[in-house]
Copies of this chain bind each other. A is one copy, B any other.
Amino acid sequence: MARLTILEHREIADNMRWLLFEAPKDLQYQPGQFLHIRVTDGVDHLLRRPISLCKVDGGRKALGVAYRVGGKGTKLLAGKNVGDTLDVLGPLGKGFKLHEGDRHAILVGGGIGVPPMVELADQLHRNGVKVTAIVGFQSKSVAILIDDLKQYGDVLVSTNDGSLGRQGFVTDYMTDELLASADRFYACGPTPMLRAVQAKMEGRVAGYLSLEERMGCGIGACMACVTSCRLADGSIGYKKVCKDGPVFPAPEVYFA
């Protein structure tokens, strides 16, 4: 837990913002982890907002996130200025696991599920893994981070309305050929997308899904954020998105 200073804060698409923090000392992190951010010091918005790590800039010792301004809390957040400090917990949770020996990874991001793919792509790229990023958005006006991803590999874009890239869904890009060439996939986005990706990849490519759930504590103590998982013994049980996730091996995730 620390008060982090805002270094940059700007709009990057309609109601989408980029926020760069000064990194806390001795920063330990994995791509896919999240920050748990208080949006005000007052009591009118008590619960922290979970936002994924998007980019860590080691040189500048800075930590970037990208978020959508939607509800009351993120609206307050959007009003914070460079130089202001925010109460931030984290990075928290289990992030994406990188596997030695992988040569080609497919990264799938939908909407506000795209941000964690940037740091992941960077790390894979540095490890010599070929990156193919497939990203989907509602429309061009809310598309984010495409240029950032292009630094690390191919980026395939789809939008629901066809205003950017191909019209359709991220899964439309998942040809047999592409899947056959990949060692791993990593996905983050809305539940319908994750469900489709899980189905598409099952038995073909091993990978990970990053989930969302409303959170209380963010550290595993309140049981708010549970999600159904296939447990080791084959039964269906709850795991905590904040502590056991947000990233889970894809076969573990059970969509009812």
Where the two chains meet, the residues of A that have a C-beta atom closer than 8 Å to any C-beta of B are: 40, 42-45
Contacts and interface: CB of A to CB of B under 8 A. Distances in A.
6 contacts: A40-B42, A42-B42, A42-B44, A42-B45, A43-B44, A44-B44
Contacts of A42: 40, 42, 44-45
A48 to B, nearest CB: 16
Contacts of A40: 42
A229 B40 CA distance: 43
A42 B79 CA distance: 13
A84 to B, nearest CB: 11
A42 B45 CA distance: 9
Nearest to A72: B42
A69 B42 CA distance: 17
A43 B44 CA distance: 6
Nearest to A45: B42
Contacts of A43: 44
A45 B43 CA distance: 9
Nearest to A76: B42
6 shortest A-B CB distances, which residue pairs? A42-B44, A43-B44, A44-B44, A42-B42, A40-B42, A42-B45
Which one of A40, A44, A45 has the greatest number of beta carbons of chain B within 10 Å?
A: A44
A40 B79 CA distance: 14
Nearest to A43: B44
A44 B40 CA distance: 11
Contacts of A44: 42-44
A85 to B, nearest CB: 13
A40 B76 CA distance: 12
A205 B43 CA distance: 50
A42 B42 CA distance: 8
Contacts of A45: 42
Nearest to A44: B42
**By CB atoms of chain B within 10 A, which of A40, A42, A43, A45 has the most?**
A42
A81 to B, nearest CB: 11
A49 to B, nearest CB: 15
A44 B42 CA distance: 6
